Amino acid sequence: MSYAPPIVPIVPVAPRNQPTGEYFLRAAFALARSEASPERGDENACEGTAQHLWGDDPATRALLVSVTKADATIGTTTTPGWAAELAQTAFLDFISTLPQSAASVFIAQGASFPLSAASGYTFPHRSSVPNGLPWVSEGAPMAVKQMQMATGPLQPKTLGAIIAMSRKLMKASAAEQIFKALLQEELAIGLDAAFFSTSAASPAAHAGLLNSVAPIAPTIGGDLQAVLADVINLSNAVSAGGSGAFALFSSPERAVRLQLLLPHMRIPVLPSAAIPANRLIGGDPQSIVTLIDPTPEVLTSTAGVVHMEDTTPLEIVSGTGPTTADPVRSLWQTDSVALAIRASMAFAKRRSNAIGFIDEVTW
pTM above 0.85, yes or no: no
Contact 222, 135 (CB under 8 A): no
Q: Read off the pLDDT of residues 149-197 as tens digits, 9 standing for 90 and up.
A: 555 667 888 888 888 888 888 888 788 888 888 888 888 888 999 999 9
pLDDT band for position 148 (50/70/90)?
low
The whole-number pLDDT of residue 5 equals: 42
Ramachandran category for residue 245: left, alpha or beta (phi over 0 → left; psi -120 to 50 → alpha): beta
Average confidence (pLDDT) over 80-108: 76
Listed in order, the ranges of the chain carrying CATH 3.30.2320.10 are 224-290+351-359
Higher local confidence (pLDDT), 39 or 16? 39
Residues 6+ apart with CB under 8 A from 186: 161, 163, 310
Average confidence (pLDDT) over 52-63: 74
Q: Is 298 helix (H, G, I), strand (E, B) or coil?
A: strand
Dist. CA 229–CA 237, nearest whole Å: 12
The whole-number pLDDT of residue 69 equals: 41
The whole-number pLDDT of residue 152 equals: 62
pLDDT band for position 198 (50/70/90)?
very high
Average confidence (pLDDT) over 129-136: 72
Q: 224-290+351-359 adopts what CATH topology? A: hypothetical protein PF0899 fold (3.30.2320)
The whole-number pLDDT of residue 353 equals: 92
Q: What stretches of the chain show up as alpha helix (H) in DSSP?
A: 20-35, 45-54, 58-62, 82-96, 104-109, 167-170, 175-195, 224-239, 252-261
The whole-number pLDDT of residue 49 equals: 79
Higher local confidence (pLDDT), 37 or 283? 283
Average confidence (pLDDT) over 229-249: 93
